[in-house]
Amino acid sequence: MIGSTQRLRRTGSRLVLMRLFSNAVVRTFAPRAASNTPASNTSDPSTSNSDTSAESVDLTRPAPDAILVDGETIVAVGTRAELLDIAAAQSSTTVALASAGGVGATTVIPGLEIDEVDCSGQVILPGFVDGHIHSIMYADSLTDLDLSQTKSLAEAVAAIRDRADSLPVGTWVVGSGWDLNKWEDPSYPDRALLDAEVPDHPVAMWSLDLHTLWVNAHALEIAGIDETTPDPAGGGFVRDDDGTLTGLVREDATDLVARFIPEPSREEQVERLATTQELFLSQGLTGIHDFDGISATLGWNDLHEAGRQDMRVTLYLRSPEVPWAIETGWHTGDGDDWLQCGGLKLFSDGALGSHTSHMSSPFPETDGETENFGIAQMTEDELFDQAHIATEAGISVAIHAIGDQANHHVLAVYERLRDITRAAEEKFDRPMRHRVEHAQFIQPSDVVRFAELGVLASMQPRHCISDLHLLHLIDESAQLAAYAWPDLLDAGANVVFGSDGPVEPANPFAAIYAAMTRANISGDVSTTFQPHRRLSAVEAIRLHTQGPAFAAGLDGRRGYLAPGMDADFIVVDTDPCAAEGLDTETLTTEAAAEMSDPNASPTPTDGLLGYASEEALFAHAEAIRDTRVALTVVGGEIKYRA
């Protein structure tokens, strides 16, 4: 990977050394232990408090209105006048600048090199980082057939037929997004309609959760799969009562078909990735944790080499890539400021929508299936063995676990791994922050174990509201902690927010809406699920900024806005910290209470989050959901402008 270099640009004949973003409302989200006083400029990121449970979003004091950047680093946050003084003092000139200077004051001072960006009175926030996303799958989803809006099996088949008609005979028809749980007749699709309507094309359609593949006979034939093909470990081919393949392929068995689907050329994949990067930047993402393994590693490296990478990426491996990673010296935390080596992704179970998440209670009977507890893709011992190998080699572990039984097993793996993890941290001189990906359903006794074991919960708020129509599948008597972000925070665990895109859209503002309301994306209050588990906008933003920074071991450099931090931030048209009907004094008091009582709940438990009413809460949440990004700044450079 390429080492980082300071990025400077020329404006006319002048080399710009500093950039001032002014005329803004700056929400720093800095921990209270970190000073933002620009005049003293004494904040040392190496000594800042990494425990970010208390936010310095003090709405009783005026917010700063400017940020001063030198290269890729924030110099100071404060008023425009204060920052112009600092810029003058740190520039090549020795001439003092009067704080009363007007907007054009920089032009009258010889030698002062500063580029001022007027933010038009909008709001500056720390750059969001998606803690779990699949960039290559996302890029492909923008090109492949999208079935997410189909309302029936017949409508889905018609869309597949129309796409096939536009392609040469024999070409693969690939798509994703179907969800039988949303169809008018929620029954499983099979290959019969595909075989009748699209006989001359191999068809492969991923379910919305990407855990089930719906294929036709042509695709099965190409893959060499028939009724005699055994189910692989961690997956299976669905068969009817006569043993005939239905065309549904689940979990690890999908690899036996997917490997025959032609991939775009490397050049085409890079162009797709560049387009996807522009979309992410436009939505306020300055970085991602990418879980697409070697394909993402190659794609982002190509963009990096070409000087086209505009956002920061932490790359995660897949299990087959571990030998290569160990041989090439892949260690979690290595890399540069733009491409970082992450950990290893393993799978414990499947997904709720595909009825393959590993649960302690069975799913309701479906199409003759009884006592379906989901799929354990790997046993606890198998998970431990692979996690052991990776950790000893200096590679942290992130294990997919959605069902409560899967989470229970994964926590047991991490408990067995504790001594090995400590030894690896000492050997490689860095934190090994293991993670659980999704953690959607947790047994009550396991909630506190996340904190006790130091395991991060990597969660996606949009899953909660996208799964509203699936929650009847969960045994209420089990009293599971479902999408339990505040429960984990209260227990002292670290939580990371992301999207799991393309399973969910990458837009983080819609995710904040989901965390605030736990209601469907349209704003229907009646659909709210467990309102006592809502999170404030402030807390949800923290989990999109400081959460991913902590997970990547970058909590001293990213996640909030303060002197010495990386200059990654966004300019937006909506203030998520202030709204009509929001009792800011109560919120500030509760923030202070957190400082004196680390175990205090980060948000009120009445479900109103300090708002005067449900109507006020939803009005603000919907405004945040619809936020527009004006600028995205990464490493001090404007990477996106609306």
Q: Which residues contact residue 303 at a Cβ distance below 8 angstroms, ignoring those fewer than 6 apart?
A: 270, 273, 274, 277, 309
Quick one: pLDDT at residue 8? 33
Residues 112 and 106: beta-carbon distance below 8 Å: yes
On whether residue 278 sits in a domain, the answer given is no
Spell out the alpha helix ranges (H) of 60-180. 80-90, 135-141, 153-165
- For residue 422, the domain's CATH number is 3.20.20.140
The more confident residue out of 315 and 17 is 315
pLDDT at residue 10 above 70? no
On whether residue 202 sits in a domain, the answer given is yes
Spell out the alpha helix ranges (H) of 150-203. 153-165, 191-197
Quick one: pLDDT at residue 105? 44
The model's pLDDT over 410-443, given as tens digits with 9 standing for 90+, comes to 999 999 999 999 999 999 999 999 999 999 999 9
Domain membership of residue 633 as a residue range:
13-32+61-90+111-127+559-576+627-641
User: 641 φ, ψ to 5°?
Assistant: -135, 125
**Local structure of 125: helix, strand or coil:** strand
Query: Does residue 154 sit in the same domain as residue 227?
Result: yes
Sign of CA dihedral 384, 341, 350, 202: negative
On whether residue 192 sits in a domain, the answer given is yes
Quick one: pLDDT at residue 7? 34
- For residue 571, the domain's CATH number is 2.30.40.10
Number of domains in the chain: 3
pLDDT at residue 589 above 80? no
Query: Does residue 330 sit in the same domain as residue 225?
Result: no
pLDDT at residue 528 above 90? yes
On whether residue 368 sits in a domain, the answer given is yes
Mean predicted confidence (pLDDT) in 448-463: 98
Residue 77 binned pLDDT confidence (cut-offs 50, 70, 90): very high
Mean predicted confidence (pLDDT) in 151-173: 93
Query: Does residue 362 sit in the same domain as residue 405?
Result: yes
**Local structure of 98: helix, strand or coil:** coil
Query: Does residue 247 sit in the same domain as residue 338?
Result: no
Query: Does residue 220 sit in the same domain as residue 345?
Result: no
Mean pLDDT score of the chain = 87
Q: d(Cα 495, Cα 66) in Å, to the nearest integer? A: 30
The more confident residue out of 43 and 147 is 147
Mean predicted confidence (pLDDT) in 188-217: 91
Closest CA to 564 of 22, 58, 85, 40: 40
What percentage of the chain has pLDDT greater than the value 70? 85
Quick one: pLDDT at residue 209? 85
Side chain identity at 21, as an amino acid letter?
A: F
Residue 580 binned pLDDT confidence (cut-offs 50, 70, 90): confident
Quick one: pLDDT at residue 186? 79
**Hey, what are 529's tokens?**
């699920």
pLDDT at residue 245 above 50? yes
Quick one: pLDDT at residue 57? 60
Query: Does residue 428 sit in the same domain as residue 481?
Result: yes
Of the ranges 126-140, 247-261, 271-285, 296-310, which one carries the lowest mean pLDDT score? 247-261
pLDDT at residue 6 above 50? no
On whether residue 42 sits in a domain, the answer given is no
Of the ranges 15-24, 140-149, 222-231, 396-405, which one carries the lowest mean pLDDT score? 15-24
Of the ranges 60-64, 277-281, 504-508, 530-534, which one carries the lowest mean pLDDT score? 60-64
pLDDT at residue 58 above 80? no
Quick one: pLDDT at residue 234? 83
Q: d(Cα 134, Cα 299) in Å, to the nearest integer? A: 12
Quick one: pLDDT at residue 12? 39
The more confident residue out of 414 and 593 is 414
pLDDT at residue 188 above 90? no
Mean predicted confidence (pLDDT) in 452-473: 95
Query: Does residue 475 sit in the same domain as residue 352?
Result: yes
Residue 357 binned pLDDT confidence (cut-offs 50, 70, 90): very high
Tell me how crowded residue 370 is: count the other CB atoms within 10 A of its CB.
9
pLDDT at residue 35 above 60? no
- For residue 157, the domain's CATH number is 3.10.310.70
Query: Does residue 151 sit in the same domain as residue 65?
Result: no
On whether residue 402 sits in a domain, the answer given is yes
pLDDT at residue 515 above 90? yes
On whether residue 588 sits in a domain, the answer given is no
On whether residue 494 sits in a domain, the answer given is yes
Sign of CA dihedral 459, 507, 600, 49: positive
Q: Which helix (H) or strand (E) holds 285?
A: strand 285-290
Quick one: pLDDT at residue 624? 98
Q: d(Cα 415, Cα 437) in Å, to the nearest integer? A: 17
Spell out the alpha helix ranges (H) of 203-338. 217-223, 255-258, 266-282, 293-305, 322-327
Query: Does residue 511 sit in the same domain as residue 620?
Result: yes
Q: d(Cα 598, Cα 491) in Å, to the nearest integer? A: 10
Query: Does residue 68 sit in the same domain as residue 158?
Result: no
Query: Does residue 331 sit in the same domain as residue 202?
Result: no
Query: Does residue 506 sit in the same domain as residue 637?
Result: no
